[in-house]
Structure 1
Amino acid sequence: MESIIHPIEPVWDSNSKILILGSFPSVKSREQGFFYGHPQNRFWRVLAGVFGGEAPNCIEDKKRFLIENNIALWDVIHSCEIEGSSDSSIKNAVPNDINGIINSSNIQSVFTNGKTANKLYKMYIYPLTNIEAVCLPSTSPANAAWSLDRLIEEWRREIIPPSLRDTSL
């Protein structure tokens, strides 16, 4: 296993209110040069279900979708040794410095996409920020126990404040 440096820049701006952190980009994401590039990963469909509209397809549309919805997106890990896309194989992890995003935006909530990202966040980033993260169920195809509808429902419940939820959904 060789050490791989995270090849994707974070997406955020000064208006970002929520920060979603994954663990480390999959092989497909590293090849495409953007987050959640594996066609079976449900991340973009889940966000579209939570915030409304169609799931974005191209990188520019994905970036626009994130910024328009005040979402910052990055990963916990800056570099690590990893076999393929397997989070369980991550070794010798070095965390990303998320303080730049936190200090230069309007982040009010931090979420992790899955248990591995949450574990890594608690281990490496929480001690530096003292900001609790909410663990969302993983959008990975490996999380087959969660249907797309169930993921959308849970992500919406956690991300959207009760006062802003459309109860007709």
Structure 2
Amino acid sequence: METCMDSAPGRGDEQVWGFAPVASAGARVLVLGSMPGVASLRQAQYYAHPRNAFWPLAARICGFDPVLDYPGRLRALQACGIALWDVLRACERPGSLDADIRNDTLVPNDFREFLGRHPGIVRVCFNGAKAAAVYRRHVLPGLAGVSLQYVELPSTSPAHAAASFEQKLAAWAPALKSLDE
């Protein structure tokens, strides 16, 4: 199981660095955000903002208690065959909003290497439009010959409140369900 930070937090005021992936050998689904927000970076935890809907959604879909401590939630997610990572390894972004990511500073993660170590992953779920767009533009061209299913999902970020929790649940549930069901 990989759970450590990929590198230290930003070198400058706006330079941010993401986390290492959280993935078990049995992962079948990879959930990708764009880059952790400020609350997540401060706590060194994926989806740490208290109003982010990711953990309540994952708990409902996978059947675990959303108030588990962070290591417990990660274990429950991995038991459900789900891995977490972000499209970007680093970028410049003041604050937490995807819209504020400077496009000329994007450093994508090494997905060819990651997918080589996790060959069971067959579905990639994007947590929001920015993650999907950055992946398509900066990662997908380097993955020729890799066959994956892609699903773009509504962002779980509190900044994207256009969809209700129930609407997000209806979109996320079939995407995160085991592929063996």
TM-score by length of 1: 0.89
Q: Give the secondary structure class of the aligned counterpart of 2:55.
A: helix
Q: Is the 8 A contact 1:112 1:118 kept in 2?
A: yes
Name the structure 2 match of 1:125.
Answer: 139
Q: Percent same amino acid at aligned positions?
A: 34
| Residue of 15, 19, 24 corresponding to 1:3 | 15
Distance in 2 (CA, whole Å) between partners of 1:118 and 1:59 is 26
AA aligned to 1:149 is E
Which residue of structure 2 aligns with residue 141 of structure 1? 158
Distance 1:53 1:12 in 2: 18
Q: Is the 8 A contact 1:11 1:66 kept in 2?
A: no
Could you tell me which residue of structure 2 aligns to residue 108 of structure 1? Answer: 122
- Supply the distance in 1 between the matched residues of 2:180 and 2:121 (Cα, whole angstroms): 18
> What count of residue pairs does the alignment treat as equivalent?
163
1:167 match: none
One of 84, 105, 111 as aligned partner of 1:98: 111
Partner of 1:70: 81
SS at match of 1:72: strand
In structure 1, the residue corresponding to 2:126 is in which secondary structure? strand
Q: 1:60 aligns with which of 66, 71, 79?
A: 71
- 2: CA distance, partners of 1:73 / 1:158: 14
Give the alignment's TM-score, normalised by structure 2. 0.83
Distance 1:2 1:139 in 2: 23
* Pairing 1:10-29 to 2, within 5 Å after superposition: 10-29=21-40
Matched letter for residue 134 of structure 2? L
Moved more, 132-141 or 155-164: 155-164
Do the aligned residues in 1 keep the contact of 2:15 with 2:91 (CA within 8 Å)?
A: yes
The structural deviation recorded for 1:67 is: 1.3
Q: Of the candidates 70, 93, 98, which is equivalent to residue 82 of structure 1? A: 93
The answer as to whether partners of 2:153 and 2:172 remain within 8 angstroms in 1 is: yes
CA distance in 2, matches of 1:30, 1:89: 16
Tell me if the contact between 1:21 and 1:75 (Cα under 8 Å) persists in the aligned partners.
Answer: yes
Shift of 1:101: 2.5
Q: Distance in 2 between matches of 1:162 and 1:63?
A: 19
Distance of 1:64 and 1:157 partners within structure 2: 20
Provide the residue aligned with 2:169 in structure 1: 152
